[in-house]
Amino acid sequence: MTLVDYPLTTDPTYPSVNTPFTLTVGRPACNCGLLTWDLPAMKTLTTSMMASPDATLVFDKATVNEASKSASADVVECYRDF
């Protein structure tokens, strides 16, 4: 089944409202280019086709280096609560 089977846009019991809005994206108040990143350790995985149980690998993300967060006032602005 698809929306072709249930066309909500033409069904008066499911009205829709279009609300236009303007989204303005401005420059950040901070200079986040001053941050440094701690990269996770490299991981490897060796497996074979149709392995049982399935082989899995969790990807870790990079994190902001704590010391670089307080390196200057320009970076501190990145973490200010608005």
- Is 22 within the bounds of a domain? no
pLDDT in the model for residue 82:
46
pLDDT in tens, 36-57: 889 998 888 888 777 777 778 8
* Angle of CA points 73, 75, 76, to nearest 5°: 65
Tokens of 25: 């994206």
Q: For residue 69, with 0-12 CB atoms within 10 Å meaning exposed, 13-18 middle and 19 or more buried, which class applies? A: middle
pLDDT in the model for residue 5:
61
- Is 71 within the bounds of a domain? yes
Residue 79: give the domain boundaries: 31-42+61-82
- Is 74 within the bounds of a domain? yes
- Is 8 within the bounds of a domain? no
Q: How many structural domains compose the chain?
A: 1
